[in-house]
Amino acid sequence: MTFVPVMWIIWCVLVGATALIYVYRGRLSRDEADQIFLDDSFSQEQAEQAVIVNKVGKIQPILTTFKVLTLAATIFVIGYYILDIVNRLK
């Protein structure tokens, strides 16, 4: 396989993985309440919200890593094609 298809496959995998992580985080946080009443009668809801916040907190560094990798791959792809255009114009 040549370089260009491998470059695009890697880029697509990174974009797809980032999108899947966004979807997963969205599914987790859809049940998150905007407001919680901190009364003893709401301790079950408070525990459920703490679990959701904990899961979202664990996913955030992974999402940040994939966003940085996707950005780097995007810059690399754009740079490759700019370099290709410059070389063809010479």
Domain region containing 67: 3-29+40-89
Predicted pLDDT at 37? 59
Predicted pLDDT at 52? 81
Total domain count, the chain:
1
The crossing angle, in degrees rounded to 10, of helices 3-29 and 43-89 is: 160
In a domain, 72, yes or no: yes
In a domain, 14, yes or no: yes
Contact 10, 73 (CB under 8 A): yes
Considering only the C-alpha atoms of the chain, give the largest distance between any 2 of them, rounded to a whole number of Å: 74
Predicted pLDDT at 24? 92
In a domain, 34, yes or no: no
In a domain, 76, yes or no: yes
Give every residue of the chain whose pLDDT is below 50, as ranges.
none
